[in-house]
Amino acid sequence: MGLQATSFQDRKRKAINIAALGAVLGLAFLAAVPFVLVSGYILVKGIGSVDWAFFTELPKGPGETGGGMANAMAGTGVLVTMACLLGIPWGMATGIYLSEYGHGKTASILRFTVDLLTSVPSIIVGIFVYGLIVVHIGYSSYAGAAALAIIMLPIVARSTEEIMKLIPNSVREAGLALGLPRWKVILRILVPGCMGGLVTGFMLAIARVAGETAPLLFTAFGNQFYSTSLDQPIASLPVQIYNFAKSGFPDLVRQSWAGALVLVGLVFFLNFGTRSLLYLKNRKEIKS
Amino acid sequence: MTSSTGPILTVENLNAYFGDFHAVKGVNLEVQRNEVVSLIGPSGCGKSTFIRCLNRLHEEVPSANCEGRVLIEGQNIYAENADPVVVRRKVGMVFQKPNPFPGLSIFENVALGLKLAGITKKSVVTEIVEWSLRKSALWDEVKDSLSSPGLSLSGGQQQRLCLARTLAVKPPVILMDEPTSALDPISTAKIEELVMELKQEVTVVIVTHNMQQASRISDKTAFFLMGELMEFDETSALFTNPKNLKTEQYITGRFG
Ligand SMILES: Nc1ncnc2c1ncn2[C@@H]1O[C@H](COP(=O)(O)OP(=O)(O)O)[C@@H](O)[C@H]1O
Ligand SMILES: [Mg+2]
């Protein structure tokens, strides 16, 4: 008797194996389809309208043609920067606590709460900030940035925690054994030692909030010009896309496609750029 | 109060625990200035736990604690008002696996302890870094690449870098926990040579599971078994004429 698969059982097993592999492969490739279709569609619809004016001019009124979304891009820049100023230190502090001091029960509860915050729908965050800030000082950059910062918080916190935990404990002990207090070990050795990884987490959080619309509707609100004060409503790309798309005026709809393309491009490059930087950095470290 | 005569290190009735587990049991020991003392014993007998009590690193493990007295230059490091940070500046440590600081250059690895201890004058820092790297026999190999990452060095070089980092803050006592067990024979020989030179200036307590190493480099040797100090004597006496039956069985390879 040889070792060939001859019996019916053997052949059946082989057939099932091939079928299962085929199904898994097929579904895996299907997973790429939505991304390709969405980005392809936006590219086709938007590319014709992404011109110089789009980046430099303010929106024209309904019914007029021309103009751009310069105010929305500036607004998104302002909102995301302010959200980072609040959300990154806050999230980092939380992540550092969870990684470096988070042994006990309090920390487990905090970790769980942070995870829950990740799954709170962003529109709820918007309503929360509306009640907390907008009812007192009105629609403003402050309110918009606060909403985005709250959405960034759990992402930054958990990525910081995960990345700090990758540092071997022996590095902490080396720092302590040198006679450094724990906070100096954290701030001067651990954080700089994993800065690359931490920045990746920040970038992914930025990419996540740069496209948020719902929380900004209740907080930053939006307008048709450059905001000159942080306590006034401020435009943003996602909200402007939303408003233009539902306006019904053909030229505004056309511009909202362009806005969508720019936004997707921005988020894509944030993701892609961060990952390639990290890849190059890792490769350099392995080589040297 | 510090005294420059008498033992530099005195351990009195030291007990160490991990939760309920009693890892070090009532150890008493005295180390004189400029001695090299080896700790030997089968793995798991509490050697690492013991030396980590000597620089208060043991207590950094969650659930770990210890009791007893440890006097460094006459002062109890477990006294009510003793600060572990100050203790660790006096008692340096080199670990089993080389652990340079990630992301820092060779220079920065050595300089960091100085900077964070408040020595910031550039010329002084540079001088001490060079001194430390020379003392750890690494200077000639790295003097042209001080700005490359510490982690880019070979394992043996990394371990000497860790030694330089420890020397830079000039502790009078240095603990070493199997510093050569992850190294090749040539790097091991280098570290052993360094330890013997260092004893001009510092006192070294070194854990090793290599009995040849202990007999080559140490003045005195302590044999641990199941958390207890079984025997502590001049190295030559302990290896040639052990008083304890367990010591004899261990050094003749009958267990462990
Ligand atoms: N972090 C820890 N938690 C609980 N038990 C530990 C821990 N580290 C070591 N031990 C236990 O303490 C004993 C002594 O360990 P250790 O001091 O590392 O021994 P050695 O260095 O002599 O090999 C061993 O039984 C070990 O299992
Ligand atoms: Mg050990």
Residue B4 is predicted with a pLDDT of 64
Cα separation of B92 and B121, whole Å?
A: 23
Residue A44 is predicted with a pLDDT of 95
Confidence tier at B1 by pLDDT (50, 70, 90): very low
Residues B112-132, buried b or exposed e (16+ Cβ, 10 A)?
A: bbbebbeeeeeeebeebbbbb
Average the pLDDT over A205-229 and give the result.
Answer: 93
Give yes or no for residue A6 having a pLDDT over 90: no
Model pLDDT for residues A69-80, shown as the tens digit of each residue: 999 999 999 999
Residue B3 lies in a domain: no
For B220, the token pair is: 């005195």
Give yes or no for residue A228 having a pLDDT over 80: yes
Asked if A175 has any chain B CB less than 8 Å from its own CB, the reply is: yes
Give yes or no for residue B205 having a pLDDT over 70: yes
Count of structural domains, chain B: 1
Q: How far is the CA of B77 from the centre of ligand 2 (A)?
A: 22
In order of their start, the domains of chain A are 71-235 (1.10.3720.10)
Confidence tier at A288 by pLDDT (50, 70, 90): very low
Give contacts of B112 with chain A, Cβ < 8 Å. Answer: 178, 188-189
Confidence tier at A61 by pLDDT (50, 70, 90): confident
Asked if A176 has any chain B CB less than 8 Å from its own CB, the reply is: yes
Asked if A184 has any chain B CB less than 8 Å from its own CB, the reply is: yes
For chain A, how far is it from start to end, CA to CA, in angstroms?
A: 56
Residue B25 lies in a domain: yes
Cα separation of B182 and B98, whole Å?
A: 8
* Residue nearest (by alpha carbon) to ligand 1 atom 3: B18
The sign of the dihedral angle between the CA atoms of B182, B187, B189, B194 is: negative
- Cβ of B88 within 8 Å of Cβ of A192? The answer is no
Model pLDDT for residues B175-201, shown as the tens digit of each residue: 999 999 988 999 999 999 999 999 999
Residue B153 lies in a domain: no
- Cβ of B149 within 8 Å of Cβ of A178? The answer is no
Least confident of A50-64, A112-126, B157-171: A50-64
Q: Which of B92, B103, B152 sits opposite A177 (nearest CB)?
A: B92
Residue B103 is predicted with a pLDDT of 86
DSSP A84: H
Give contacts of A195 with chain B, Cβ < 8 Å. Answer: 103
Question: A141-165 and A105-119 helices cross at what angle (nearest 10)?
Answer: 130
Average the pLDDT over B207-220 and give the result.
Answer: 94
Distances (CA, A) of A67 to A43, A55, A78, B6: 20, 9, 21, 87
Average the pLDDT over B115-119 and give the result.
Answer: 86
Residue B204 lies in a domain: yes
- Within 8 A by CB and 6+ apart from A127, the residues are A218
Model pLDDT for residues A112-121, shown as the tens digit of each residue: 999 999 999 9
Half-sphere exposure in the Cβ direction for B124 (13 Å, CA): 9
- Owner of token pair 């736990």: B49
- Chain B interface, best mutation among A178, A194, A287, by max B CB count within 10 A: A178
Give contacts of A194 with chain B, Cβ < 8 Å. Answer: 102-103
Average the pLDDT over A38-57 and give the result.
Answer: 93
Residue B103 lies in a domain: no
Residue A195 is predicted with a pLDDT of 87
Asked if A123 has any chain B CB less than 8 Å from its own CB, the reply is: no
Domain containing B211 equals 9-97+173-251
Point out the ligand 1 atom lying closest to the alpha carbon of residue B42.
22
Mean pLDDT for chain A overall:
92
For A16, the token pair is: 């099932």
Closest chain B residue by Cα to residue A166: B102
Give yes or no for residue A3 having a pLDDT over 90: no
Give φ, ψ of B231 to 5 degrees.
-155, 140
Average the pLDDT over A183-198 and give the result.
Answer: 91
Residue B177 lies in a domain: yes
From B47, B49, B175, B207, give the residue whose CB has the most ligand 1 atoms within 8 Å, as the site to mutate. Answer: B49
Ligand at shortest distance from the CA of B49: 1
Closest chain A residue by Cα to residue B117: A180
Q: Are B42 and B250 in contact (CB under 8 A)?
A: yes
Residue A286 is predicted with a pLDDT of 54
The binding-site residues of ligand 1, defined as CB within 6 angstroms of any ligand atom, are B 18, 21, 23, 41, 43-49, 61
Size of interface A-B (CB pairs under 8 A): 76
Give contacts of A178 with chain B, Cβ < 8 Å. Answer: 88-89, 92, 112-113, 116, 165-166, 169
- Within 8 A by CB and 6+ apart from A246, the residues are none
For chain A, what percent of residues have pLDDT higher than 90? 76
Helices (H), chain B: 47-54, 84-90, 106-116, 122-135, 139-142, 155-168, 185-198, 211-217, 235-240, 245-251
> In CATH, what number is assigned to the domain containing residue B215?
3.40.50.300
Q: How far is the CA of B183 from the centre of ligand 2 (A)?
A: 15
Task: Give the strands of the sheet with B173-177, arranged side by side.
Answer: B91-94, B173-177, B203-207, B36-40, B220-225, B228-234
Residue B197 lies in a domain: yes
Alpha-carbon gap: A59 to the closest alpha carbon of chain B (Å):
47
Residue B223 lies in a domain: yes
* Residue nearest (by alpha carbon) to ligand 1 atom 18: B48
Cα separation of B186 and B240, whole Å?
A: 27
Average the pLDDT over B81-96 and give the result.
Answer: 95
Cα separation of B96 and B210, whole Å?
A: 13
Residue B207 is predicted with a pLDDT of 97
Residue A163 is predicted with a pLDDT of 94
Give yes or no for residue B209 having a pLDDT over 90: no
Average the pLDDT over A274-281 and give the result.
Answer: 80
